[in-house]
Structure 1
Amino acid sequence: MILGELSPASLNPLKDKLPEHGGNLPAAAKAYNIPLSEWVDLSTGINPEPYPVPAIPAQAFNALPYLQDDFIEAVQGYYQQANFLAVAGTQTAIQVLPEVFNQNQSLPVLLPSIGYQEHKQQWLRYGSVIQLYRSDTAANMSHDIQQALQANPDQHLVVINPNNPSTVQVGLPQLLQWSSMLGRHAHMIVDEAFIDISPEGSLLSLPQSAENMLPQNMLPQNIVVLRSFGKFFGLAGIRLGFVFSSPNILKQIQQALGIWQVNGPAQFIATQALNDTPWQTAAKQNIQKNTQYTEQTLNPLMATFKVSPPLRHALFLSYPMSLTTALFIYNDLAKHGILTRVVGLDNERALLRVGSIDHLNMHATARLHDACEQLRLSAIGLRILE
């Protein structure tokens, strides 16, 4: 790579200061001295066209937040499952699952090498023995998990499906096979935070009993499914997620978390959104358009850097490249108020994850186009080649 004035050493301080998670606009605003209101945030996989929040009745703020009947019905209708636990974001469940599953017997856990790192951090925090499997391709993932479970079925398994940021997704038969290989006290946790665009790939789409409605959960007893509300509906700030599993497991998670997990306003907003099928249908179409537009805007820049085509999810694009190139692009776009996300794979390789932009937001799209074009011309001038 011909870098001119650019070198890995010059970018090391930037690498050390990368945020743990996407969406940290306050930190970016301070680091680059750009006012918070002037940023275009493409560092998450959150729908850039959020569900329009309706007027919230005062009762939702005044009353203690016991789960309302209409909220329960909306959740059961949308996810087609009777047994669930509503939580203040699936992160809260991720934090207690190691404790819940190791109360009686401590087991090791299989985790993806690439993926939402809070899973790994929480199991390590609990002191669990972890083993990583490759999650860069479906073939590598299947090979590693199959071998690990054959060697030792007495371990928990965490699967992010589809994977963020590698976009790898495995089918339901494969997931069910892995769950059947687990030992008596082992569990499979499937994080489906990004599956709403293609819900047919969800474990919650398995055939239900009693005319498709809901007297019992048909998931195998050793499976836990996590679903995020904020990604697809674009409302991450209300902190809402759902856990689906057997009644016994849900009870243990609830006891670990405590009462009143979901506030009244969040319940009210979610009830409207989960019941609004016309909005959901339109949102899926708009999300595809947004990501197509984002990729088209980035294509000339990525071609200049000779970057491979992106790994595609409906809500984000992950571009494989060297860590040095990823840091350089991230840093330059940030100087223009465009926030992306660098996910390091090792000391040399990375993914630059770019969330989709609202293609109808003329101000934001113009900013992205101009920033990419300035960087492209600058790279040509510096003879920066991947």
Structure 2
Amino acid sequence: MSLPDHGANPKIFTKALGVAYKEGSIDFSVNTNPLGMSNYANLTQSDLKEAISAYPEPHAEHLTEALAKHLKVDKSRLLAGNGAAELIFHLAHLYQGKKVLLIEPAFSEYRDACEANGCEMESIVLEDPWKIDLRQLEGRLDEVDLMFLCAPNNPTGTTYEIEEIREILNLAAQHNTMVVIDEAFYDFQESKQTIIEEIQQCNHLIILRSMTKMYGIAGVRLGYMVASPSIIQQIRNLQPPWSVNGLAQRIGLNLLQDSSFINETAVYIKKERLRMKTELRKMDFCVSDSVVNFYLLSEKDKRDLRPLMIFLIEHKIIPRHTYSFNGLNGRYLRLAVKTKDENTILLSVLKKWRDQSC
């Protein structure tokens, strides 16, 4: 049985690995908000009843308008979806049979969606510390129709400077390549770095975002796309009506009123991530220079971490394996930034690992 391509399902993961799941395990493979769900996601009994019993708007018109106003873009440039994953699959369908370039390691849905739609796949696999060589990129853009870039990156947690992304967009424009920037984790950055201001003048730019991770509503499934009106209309033509369900639409509207939750989360994440990095490096682990709510852990010699992965599971810690990420190949573990108490438990288990290895 192959290992799952996603985190957040620890019982499925441990079963595939052939290791017993222990009740009370802490799931460090899930990368949603460690502070929990925004209070604005709670619906009153009457709102909940209406959201469940009534047909939702076919294309989430009110949510689209509210998101556009919140982002200061025209509503013709925005499309809500049943999570960002739905929009990735629609994009792959729009470019079916075309040449697609992935900057990897990256979120597995890009490749899965494109391969399912018969795309011709190209890949640039970056090595630690995962920096893009613009000269190498320029040499690979010939005849590439679509390129995916995850920024901040999942699984490394690292990101690129805005000027780097602008240079990438300029190169892509010269080759008539559409660029998808996946900003699913942008709001976990204290800086809130984003390329969205370029959307007005870059018709070859598509931005994907998720609302499920920051607001702790992964089960609701809600994301959106910002792009040129032409791309938005083409994707909308592929999207079935009622793609965004009534609960997601109602909760999404509420969440846009929560002005403090994102900033509070980002401040906490930065403080706790830096604490973890300091403590882990004291134990002689390598830690990626993440800017978000997860990071990669590795040994200096980049050995396969399966033994450590199993040790963690046996001690009630569920990591995210990296065998499914091109360029990582099991030599890293992805770990979420959790609550302070949970992170401290992880540190104690890793210290046990170090102590027994000495």
TM-score, shorter chain, exceeding 0.5: yes
Q: Look up the match of 2:137.
A: 145
Give 1 or 2: higher helix fraction: 1
Matches of residues 108-127 of structure 1 in structure 2 within 5 Å? 108-127=99-118
Does 2:276 correspond to 1:294?
yes
Preserved contact between residue 277 and residue 287 of structure 2 (Cα < 8 Å): no
Matches of residues 178-197 of structure 1 in structure 2 within 5 Å? 178-183=171-176, 186-197=177-188
AA at the equivalent of 1:48: P
Displacement after TM superposition at 1:347 (Å): 8.7
Q: Look up the match of 2:220.
A: 238
CA distance in 1, matches of 2:314, 2:26: 11
Per-residue deviation, residues 317-373 of structure 1 (Å, max 9, x unmatched): 1124466442122111111121112224559762221110111xx3x3453233223
Q: Look up the match of 1:54.
A: 42
Cα distance 1:238–1:178, how it changes in 2: closer, same or farther (>3 A)?
A: farther
Cα distance 1:365–1:189, how it changes in 2: closer, same or farther (>3 A)?
A: closer
Does 2:290 correspond to 1:312?
yes
Cα distance 1:200–1:178, how it changes in 2: closer, same or farther (>3 A)?
A: farther
Q: Look up the match of 1:340.
A: 319
Matches of residues 276-287 of structure 1 in structure 2 within 5 Å? 276-287=258-269
Displacement after TM superposition at 1:100 (Å): 0.8
Which of 252, 257, 281 is equivalent to 2:239?
Answer: 257
AA at the equivalent of 1:60: A
Cα distance 1:175–1:347, how it changes in 2: closer, same or farther (>3 A)?
A: closer
Cα distance 1:93–1:263, how it changes in 2: closer, same or farther (>3 A)?
A: same
AA at the equivalent of 1:358: T
- Report SS of the residue matched to 1:21: coil
TM-score by length of 1: 0.79
CA distance in 2, matches of 1:219, 1:351: 39
Which of 147, 162, 178 is equivalent to 1:157?
Answer: 147
Cα distance 1:346–1:284, how it changes in 2: closer, same or farther (>3 A)?
A: closer
Aligned residues: 340
Which of 198, 206, 221 is equivalent to 2:203?
Answer: 221
Displacement after TM superposition at 1:141 (Å): 4.1
Q: Look up the match of 1:210.
A: none
Does 2:15 correspond to 1:27?
no
Does 2:69 correspond to 1:95?
no
- Report SS of the residue matched to 2:256: helix
TM-score by length of 2: 0.85
Displacement after TM superposition at 1:293 (Å): 3.5
Displacement after TM superposition at 1:86 (Å): 0.7
The structure with more radius of gyration: 1
Preserved contact between residue 288 and residue 296 of structure 2 (Cα < 8 Å): yes
CA RMSD, Structure 1 to Structure 2 (Å): 2.6
Per-residue deviation, residues 305-324 of structure 1 (Å, max 9, x unmatched): xx334332321111244664
Preserved contact between residue 324 and residue 348 of structure 1 (Cα < 8 Å): no
- Report SS of the residue matched to 2:186: coil
Cα distance 1:196–1:107, how it changes in 2: closer, same or farther (>3 A)?
A: same
Which of 331, 338, 350 is equivalent to 1:357?
Answer: 338
AA at the equivalent of 1:352: L
Displacement after TM superposition at 1:140 (Å): 3.7
Cα distance 1:128–1:34, how it changes in 2: closer, same or farther (>3 A)?
A: closer
CA distance in 2, matches of 1:168, 1:132: 18
Unaligned runs of 5+ in 1: 1-15, 207-216, 381-386
AA at the equivalent of 2:43: A
Preserved contact between residue 321 and residue 330 of structure 2 (Cα < 8 Å): no
CA distance in 2, matches of 1:250, 1:316: 31
Q: Look up the match of 2:252.
A: 270
Does 2:338 correspond to 1:368?
no
AA at the equivalent of 2:31: G
Q: Look up the match of 2:56.
A: 65
Cα distance 1:294–1:73, how it changes in 2: closer, same or farther (>3 A)?
A: farther
CA distance in 1, matches of 2:131, 2:349: 37
CA distance in 1, matches of 2:264, 2:5: 32
- Report SS of the residue matched to 2:169: helix
> What percent identity do the matched residue pairs reach?
21
CA distance in 1, matches of 2:349, 2:73: 45
